[in-house]
Amino acid sequence: MTYDYDLFIIGAGSGGVRAARIAAGHGAKVAIAEEYRVGGTCVIRGCVPKKMLVYGAHFAEDLHEAARFGWDIKGAQFDWQRLRDIVQDDVTRLEGLYGQTLANNHVDVHAERAVLSGTNEVTLASGKQISAKYILIATGGWPANAECDGWEHAITSNEIFHLDQVPDRIIIVGGGYIANEFAGILYAFGSDVTIANRSDTILRSYDQEIVGKLIEMGEAKGIRYRMNAPLEKIEKNADGSLTVYFADGGEPQQADVIMVATGRVPNTAGLGLEAVGVSLDSVGAVIVGDDNRSSVDSIYAVGDVTNRVQLTPVAIREGHAFADTVFGGNPRTISYDNIPSAVFSSPPIAAVGLTEREARQQYDDVQVYRSDFRPMKNVLSGRQERGLYKMVTAGSDEKIVGLHLIGPDSSEILQAAAVAVVAGLTKQAFDDTTALHPSMAEELVLLK
Ligand SMILES: Cc1cc2nc3c(=O)[nH]c(=O)nc-3n(C[C@H](O)[C@H](O)[C@H](O)COP(=O)(O)OP(=O)(O)OC[C@H]3O[C@@H](n4cnc5c(N)ncnc54)[C@H](O)[C@@H]3O)c2cc1C
Ligand SMILES: NC(=O)c1ccc[n+]([C@@H]2O[C@H](COP(=O)([O-])OP(=O)(O)OC[C@H]3O[C@@H](n4cnc5c(N)ncnc54)[C@H](O)[C@@H]3O)[C@@H](O)[C@H]2O)c1
């Protein structure tokens, strides 16, 4: 049987582009379809533009405190439209680089939607049918809707990057990554911010002592957290503002923008997967084995569409492992243990490994070391915000099973420290390391 391609990939995001490049490098004839913009969520409307906005947000506090460092900044103004447009220009630049990478690797790009029409065939929106020995589903995820009346008045993270102006008042529904990151960003740009969360827990997968610090510091700034406040309905008022009614019977609240950030669902609707025999789980994720293969032998899936860990570096690793396995003669799987992650909130949280609670559930002999400190810069500036670093160890040799940080630059510090956790080092290895002074990271080797 001959096919048009060795590999056809649906979705040119983090996982799809990596798989395309590596498979082509192994000699495969590859094509990819992208219905929106090459680069996918992370590059176009996720990690990258979000982090650029976080950088923009830092200036609010720094400018406010500049006088304490000897700088008089008079007449400082924030221009949202300028930042928005500069960020979008850079996103376009990156989109071009991703396209260039595909072209350099001789990957054929189809700038249109593709759906499955057979176990070895896709049909493009233009009607063209293309056959391939293998098909990779890398279609990512899509924001979940608010599941309440009037949710069409709300926006999602897709739209937040394109606002005409910073809203005077915003209610962010959800208590996860996106809610906490945009709470920090928009607060810095001048919005009155409320996080409305349906339960009493936010950032559920993170160490709750660290999360407690985030809430404490957020509240001290003026961010409002409405806990146990599931949405009942959203109504649009005559003046264009919106009113949110909560199912807990609490006071309805007005806002100019409501952003729903209640998770992302796998992007499989209308893809034709079930019709060709691909099994999906209850939320529509493609069910795959460790080798990323679906219930159909010729069809694989990587990234958010499999709903394993919705992070870019994970999608990239899965795409790479798939290409090495199927086209490189190097069958391999990836590890889902000790994946470092960060919430780019203000201040940011970063973590690797088990939370204190998880460690106590899994081990008898758990030790927790803490440093609750005020970063030197904050002492000088007069900012009250503190940092908290936690090390969780298990066993008599005090092997480190978790590191949890909140404080300035915690994501930068944790990436390096995560190597030690993955390598299975003990607390003693950190004790044996001389402090690099003065730094915040030195707190990690001075834990008592
Ligand atoms: C606001 C936000 C911030 C984030 N920040 C971070 C962060 O800081 N760090 C981090 O690690 N992760 C972050 N993420 C998560 C990260 O973006 C995703 O985990 C990652 O993009 C998943 O990659 P993927 O390849 O699975 O899918 P995606 O990158 O979503 O790519 C899927 C692509 O498939 C295309 N597509 C879908 N269906 C079709 C079809 N039928 N035909 C053709 N094309 C199709 C889509 O248009 C899309 O371009 C963030 C996500 C969001 C929303
Ligand atoms: N820094 C990062 O790495 C980063 C940043 C942004 C997004 N992401 C990825 O994107 C994914 C999506 O982000 P997210 O913030 O939308 O999801 P999330 O899974 O982080 O948080 C979803 C939140 O919404 C709440 N929720 C779920 N259903 C609800 C409902 N019906 N009503 C009210 N609340 C509800 C949950 O309790 C949770 O607090 C994340 O899981 C993450 O993997 C990563």
Question: What ipTM was assigned to the predicted interfaces of this complex?
Answer: 0.98
pLDDT on residue 145: 87
For residue 92, give Cα distances in angstroms to 16, 161, 165, 237: 18, 13, 21, 36
Which ligand has the minimum distance to the alpha carbon of residue 111? 1
Q: Is 437 known to be catalytic? A: yes
Kindly state the tokens that stand for 387.
Answer: 């940092």
In this structure, how many other beta carbons lie within 10 angstroms of the beta carbon of residue 360?
Answer: 14
pLDDT on residue 269: 97
Which numbered atom of ligand 2 lies nearest the CA of 304? Answer: 43
Which ligand has the minimum distance to the alpha carbon of residue 45? 1
Q: Which of 8, 9, 42 to mutate to test the pocket of ligand 1 (most atoms within 8 A of CB)?
A: 42
Return d(Cα 81, Cα 73) in angstroms, integer: 21
357 within 8 A of 208, measured Cβ to Cβ? yes
Half-sphere exposure of 320 (CA within 13 A, CB side): 9
* CATH topology match: 151-262 vs 347-445: no
Of 124, 143, 138, nearest to 13 by C-alpha is 138
Distance 258 CA to ligand 2 centre (A): 15
| 292: three-class secondary structure by DSSP | coil
Distance 262 CA to ligand 2 centre (A): 5
Of 168, 146, 166, 141, nearest to 156 by C-alpha is 146
Distance 15 CA to ligand 1 centre (A): 8
Q: Which residues of the chain have pLDDT under 50?
A: none
Return d(Cα 369, Cα 180) in angstroms, integer: 26
* Any atom of ligand 2 within 6 Å of the Cβ of 262: yes
Ligand 1 pocket: which residues have CB below 6 Å?
A: 10-16, 33-36, 40-42, 46-47, 50, 113-115, 138-140, 157, 178, 267, 271, 303-305, 310-313, 315
For residue 188, give Cα distances in angstroms to 168, 195, 197, 244, 252: 12, 15, 21, 23, 25
Q: Which of 26, 320, 404, 437 is catalytic?
A: 437
Residue nearest to atom 3 of ligand 1 (CA): 46
Relative to beta strand 253-255, strand 366-373 is unpaired
Strand partners of residue 109? 32
Residue nearest to atom 27 of ligand 1 (CA): 140
Q: Which of 203, 225, 244, 262 to mutate to test the pocket of ligand 2 (most atoms within 8 A of CB)?
A: 262
Distance 175 CA to ligand 2 centre (A): 7
CATH placement of domain 151-262? 3.50.50.60
Return d(Cα 300, Cα 311) in angstroms, integer: 18
Return d(Cα 301, Cα 293) in angstroms, integer: 7
Return d(Cα 91, Cα 230) in angstroms, integer: 34
- Which one of 3.30.70.100, 3.40.50.620, 3.50.50.60, 3.40.50.10860 gives the CATH number of domain 5-142+265-327? 3.50.50.60
Element (H, E) at 31: strand 30-33
pLDDT on residue 159: 98
214 within 8 A of 406, measured Cβ to Cβ? yes
Q: Which of 36, 37, 139, 178 to mutate to test the pocket of ligand 1 (most atoms within 8 A of CB)?
A: 139
Which ligand has the minimum distance to the alpha carbon of residue 117? 1
Q: Which of 43, 159, 177 to mutate to test the pocket of ligand 2 (most atoms within 8 A of CB)?
A: 177
pLDDT on residue 220: 96
Looking at 344-421, which runs of residues are DSSP E strands?
A: 349-353, 366-373, 387-394, 399-406
* Any atom of ligand 2 within 6 Å of the Cβ of 310: yes
Return d(Cα 143, Cα 267) in angstroms, integer: 9
* Any atom of ligand 2 within 6 Å of the Cβ of 325: no
Q: What is the pLDDT of residues 77-135, one digit of tens each?
A: 999 999 999 999 999 999 999 999 999 999 999 999 999 999 999 999 999 999 999 99
Q: What is the pLDDT of residues 133-163, one digit of tens each?
A: 999 999 999 999 878 999 999 999 999 999 9
Class of the CATH domain delimited by 347-445:
alpha beta
256 within 8 A of 151, measured Cβ to Cβ? no
* Any atom of ligand 2 within 6 Å of the Cβ of 350: no
Which ligand has the minimum distance to the alpha carbon of residue 204? 2
Residue type, 307: N
Distance 63 CA to ligand 1 centre (A): 33
Domain ranges of the chain: 5-142+265-327, 151-262, 347-445
